Structures are given as C-alpha cells and as structure tokens.
Amino acid sequence: MLMPKKVKYRRLHVGDRKPTQASTRGTTLVFGSYGLCTLEGGWITSQQIESARIAITRYMKRSGKLWIRIFPQKPVTRKPAETRMGKGKGGVDHWVAVVKPGRIMFELEGVSFDIAKRAMELAKHKLPVKTKFIYSNDVQEGN
C-alpha cells in the first residue's frame, strides 16, 4: 500500500472530510491522453487507490502507461475496540489522500480510446467519490 516513508507529525487533526471547494492543482492532463477526474471531494484510502490501479492495469493487460496523480499522505487514527475514553489519541490506522472536486487522479497513455474508457470505468467502481472520464483534445473518440 502507498504511505509516506517519513512524516513530520504522526497524527493530524481530522479536517474536512468532504471538501467542496474546487481543486486548484492537478486539474489538467499533463502526462497522458486520458484521465479520471473527481466530481466531488472526499478521502481516498491507499487500499482504494491500489484496487483501482490493479483494475486498470489488468484490463489494459499491462500495455500503455499509467500515472497515479494522488498520494495518501494524511494519517487517520483509530482507538482500539472496547477502550475507555481518554488516554490520548489512537494510533495511525490507515492513510488517505484528500481530493477536491476537479482533481485528476489517474492518467493513461498508449492505449485506444475504448480500452482507456472501459479501464477507467472499472476503476471508478472502486472509488468512494463520483468521477468522470476525460481526454485531451487531440484524441479521436472511438479510435
């Protein structure tokens, strides 16, 4: 799973679970011709990112190139079950990537339009946020 090698602070405040403000970074296709863009904000766990990555690469049969444009760098803590209140904050349970609307999460290059669209549809079902398939202007639909 994806996680940072080293962090300055082990535990962070929870913050906004569903950011509604549009993303200002990572909103254009930079590496590939096809992409998967978020339509709403949310947290995406490292397991969900990995699951979407596997779905895409399996459908493409490892042809083409895939870029993952998000990284889980926010720790989410959890206290053990049946623990009394107090005694401080729980330990790090998992890592999440905070995405805002408009953020491109995955990019593809080197495959046909139909394969890219279907691969991104398979990945879309693995993610907890609404997404849409986007492509650059120089790509012809259905080719």
At 139 the pLDDT is 78
CA atoms within 13 A on the CB side of 30: 11
Cα separation of 60 and 68, whole Å?
A: 15
At 116 the pLDDT is 97
Q: What distance, in Å, lies between the first and last C-alpha atoms of the chain?
A: 34
pLDDT digits (tens, 9 = 90+) for 22-41: 999 999 999 999 999 999 99
User: Helix axis angle, 113-124 relative to 46-60, nearest 10°?
Assistant: 150
At 62 the pLDDT is 83
At 27 the pLDDT is 96
CB atoms within 10 A of CB 42: 19
Domain range list for the chain: 34-77+93-135
The larger pLDDT score, comparing residue 76 to residue 143, is at: 76
pLDDT digits (tens, 9 = 90+) for 75-131: 999 999 999 999 999 999 999 999 999 999 999 999 999 999 999 999 999 999 999
CATH superfamily for domain 34-77+93-135: Ribosomal protein L16/L10 (3.90.1170.10)
DSSP letter, residue 61: T
pLDDT digits (tens, 9 = 90+) for 38-63: 999 999 999 999 999 999 999 999 89
